[in-house]
Amino acid sequence: MLRLIIPYFEFDSAEGFLVFKQDYVHIPIWHYSFYIHVFSSTICLIAGLTQFSKTVLKNSPKSHKILGRIYAYNILVINFPVGMIMAFYANGLWPTKTAFILLDLLWFWFTLKAVLDIKKGNVLSHKKNMIRSFALTFSAVTLRSWNVLLSNTTSIDPLTLYMINGWLGWLPNLIVVEVYNFRMSKRLFRSSITH
């Protein structure tokens, strides 16, 4: 992931993904949103990964809490608004825009819900919503993975491919975590009735 964002430190509007966004790079709100999103979402990925470390949770609950706050603040205050701006300017017209708008809304909702859950002391619901939130954060990786896979194995034109990737980047992630959350609830329920 870092390898993908390092070229953007040069702020060259003809670099990487920006090559396909030449219609928008001159629009200040989009341009600033793009760079804010690229750099701050990397912080989300790193901080989010630590939230699932049993070692961090057990040995340093304070670090878990601080990194969790960084993660949540980053999504709720920084990435949600800039992600929404970018979604409205997405290539591929409304199929792609809809995919990214839904992704952004769900990302915000699951993150907010996780924060509210832990404030109420509902650890299980907090955990489930954090898993959902991180599945959407991880779409930064899965979208690029699908893009590499499909662009190298199919002859789909780039615009159609981007429309497909807009959905493939996050929808399968969310389905997988819903199955995981369901199984976790089932295990907990079974263990509660056997004890």
Identify the pLDDT of residue 16.
55
Q: Cα-atom radius of gyration of the chain, to the nearest Å? A: 18
pLDDT tens, residue by residue, 44-97 = 999 999 988 888 888 999 999 999 999 999 999 999 999 999 999 888 789 999
3-state secondary structure 103-133: HHHHHHHHHHHHHHHHHCCCHHHHHHHHHHH
Decide if 101 contacts 87 (C-beta within 8 A).
yes
Give the residue carrying structure tokens 């949600």.
Answer: 80
Mean pLDDT along residues 3-23: 56
Average pLDDT of the chain, as a whole number: 87
- Domain extent, residue 160, equals 2-194
Residue 14 predicted with pLDDT over 80:
no
Q: What angle do CA 155, 160, 165 make, to 5 degrees?
A: 95
**83 vs 57: CA distance, rounded Å:** 29
Residue 4 predicted with pLDDT over 90:
no
What is the sign of the dihedral through the CA atoms of 65, 68, 70 and 76? Answer: negative
DSSP state of 78: I
> Number of folded domains in the chain?
1
Residue 194 burial class via C-beta count within 10 angstroms: exposed 0-12, middle 13-18, buried 19 and up: exposed
Tokens coding 155: 């002859």
**11 vs 104: CA distance, rounded Å:** 24
Residue 133 predicted with pLDDT over 80:
yes
Identify the pLDDT of residue 195.
56
